[in-house]
Amino acid sequence: MNKLMIWLVGLANPLWQAFGADPKALRLILATKLKMDDRGGYVMGQQQKPKSGMEKLVFFFMTLFGAFTILFFVKLDHHATAVSLVFSFWVIYIGLLLITELSETLFDARDLYVLLSRPITDVTLSLSRILHIGVFTAKFALCFAVPVGIYLAIWVGPWPLLVFCFLAVVTVVITMTGTLVFYLILLRRVPAQKLKKIIGYFQMLATGLFFILYQLPQFMDSFEGIENFRVSGEWSGFLFPGFWLGGWWSILVEGGATTLSWAQAGLAIFAASAGAWFYVRQSSNYGEKLLELRMAGSGEADAAKGQGSAVSDENNPWYREAISRWFTRRGVERTTFRFTWRVMLRDMSFKQKTYPSMVFLPILLGIIFFRDSFGSNPNGLVFSTNQILMTLYLTAIVIITPLGQAKISEYYRASWIFIATANKETGAFAYGHLLAVLGMFFIPTMVIVAVLVLIVGGLEYIPDIILAIGANLLFTFIFHYLDKHLPFSQNKQAGGFETFGPFLVVSVSATILGFAHYGLRMLPYGLGVWAGALILWISVAVWANFMRREQRIFTEPKTTD
């Protein structure tokens, strides 16, 4: 695949020369970057195998998403509108992918120490970045396009297929240049010390938005009444870039294009051309700006040192100190608790990976409780016992996700301080770390969910809440016991059964206990639920006491990427 992409890039060498770039250097840089991407890292001095299994799985699901978009052609009578909706889906998904996953690749400055010592222009450097990201984007676009392309080739004809391929390229260019021009303007206009934070919060917002858009179809019962929907060739077709592509379909395939269709088609070509031109024009001093961004972390550290105790007071909420005093002992437990809490508040990479996932629970609750209000159910909202129990057990997501992310850090080598600490009861590290995550995420969420359940279901669900809290704590202890990594001791590439295995065990355990909880409710007078809650809470108390006194053997942090 990479060789094909490099060959396709080489076909546009006259264009790169017109932009002022060196085609030979561009090809070498791109080939090297792609080759390094395919290689596994070094662990314990041995070369690891390329991690292609997960990549193939992702491509498979992207192809399924592409197959889903065929429904637009099947359900809509106006195929130009179907094309508009298909490419709108592309723009949203690829744009959010660029924001949430590839921002670090765009601003990665590690290769500059080699490239800047060579006679390479800023245009060549910036184009190599956008083409590197473009290869990844093209792979996703290809997955989206294959099912639709097969459908068009068989049921519509070869000419519509060629037009669709042309519009796919235009869509990718519009999405990439629009996103990257936005980042490039930030890089040139915003101080390096602030840029990382702005990008981080923008990524969190985009990830949450993507999840919301991904779940919206769950609220719809069917596609009834969508057959006559039109957006291409209408005034509403100017509202979103993906809608503009439908104008070209009306011109080249269907015929009978209106003035608005021509205007939308011209706007699409203008957006792609202007975005590429502006990106190249803004490429001066690109390398220097990236180096400034890479060095921004040291400046923030110096500023934090100068603030002294003010930093500590700012991140010193009363409930943190209350949990610390009530549930941790002086010494290693309390120190690890406060350390974990402060890192979770300050580490932008932790926030980027954790906070967007917090959107999952309220959206899922909306699907569970309020889906009927969006559909055609005449009975309106109905809150059943199954829905309430599912809500109580889904709160485990709020603790499992941050608990897993709290083992990952950009500065994972610093976790050797835990190994070097003279402490016989090493379980105190795990206990303090766990209590910090529980206090920051699980306790506030569980309080909110419990109040909502009592409002919706009434006081009769009090024993169910107590039982579910004990079950969720038990899941957390199981996950924490199986994941034997120290706090913030793993690099970003950590994976395999070490991270997925504990999550799978917890998922199976939650399913079993959830059904058991439902069965206990069938016993009279709520005795089964109260008995189950008592057993679970005794188990949690015994396990917590064992954890804090355990001589635990942790997986030592690796010293290589």
What is residue 48's predicted lDDT score, i.e. its pLDDT?
A: 44
- 234 confidence band (pLDDT: 50, 70, 90): confident
Between 552 and 129, where is the model more confident? 129
What does the pLDDT look like over 533-561, one tens digit per residue?
899 899 888 888 877 776 665 555 554 44
Q: Is the pLDDT of residue 291 over 60?
A: no
Helix (H, G, I), strand (E, B) or coil at 555: strand
Q: Which helix (H) or strand (E) holds 290?
A: helix 286-294
pLDDT tens sequence across 17-52? 887 778 888 888 888 777 776 654 433 333 444 555
Percent of all residues in the chain with a pLDDT value above 90, rounded to a whole number: 5
- 81 Cβ neighbours under 8 A, 6+ residues apart: 72, 229, 230, 231, 232, 246
Q: What is the pLDDT of residue 319?
A: 75
Residue pLDDT, tens place only, 171-182: 988 888 888 777
Cα 99 to Cα 204: distance, rounded to the nearest angstrom? 9
The pair of three-digit structure tokens given for residue 394, joined into one six-digit string: 């889904």
State the pLDDT at residue 495.
Answer: 47
226 pLDDT above the threshold of 70? no
- Tell me the C-alpha distance between 114 and 49, whole Å: 26
Count of CB atoms within 10 A of residue 471's CB? Answer: 26
What does R_g of the chain's alpha carbons equal in angstroms?
Answer: 27
Lowest mean pLDDT, pick from 124-133, 217-226, 339-348: 217-226
What is the 3-state secondary structure of 16-30? HHHHCCCHHHHHHHH
| pLDDT score recorded for residue 557 | 55
pTM confidence score = 0.61
pLDDT band, residue 289 (cuts 50/70/90): low
CA distances from 64 to 140, 145, 253, 391 (A): 12, 11, 26, 29
Q: What's the confidence (pLDDT) of residue 103? A: 57
Which is more confident, 110 or 392? 392
Quote the tokens at residue 190. 């915003």
Residue 297 has pLDDT above 50, yes or no: no
Query: For the segment 482-533, what is each residue's pLDDT rounded down to a tens digit?
Result: 776 777 766 665 544 455 566 667 777 777 887 888 888 888 877 888 888 8
Q: How far is CA 349 from the centre of its chain?
A: 11
Average pLDDT, stretch 425-435?
75
* Residues whose CB falls within 8 Å of the CB of residue 201, separated by 6 or more in sequence, listed in order: none
Please name the residue that has the structure tokens 């039109």.
230
The pLDDT tens digits for 358-384 are 766 676 666 666 555 444 444 545 567
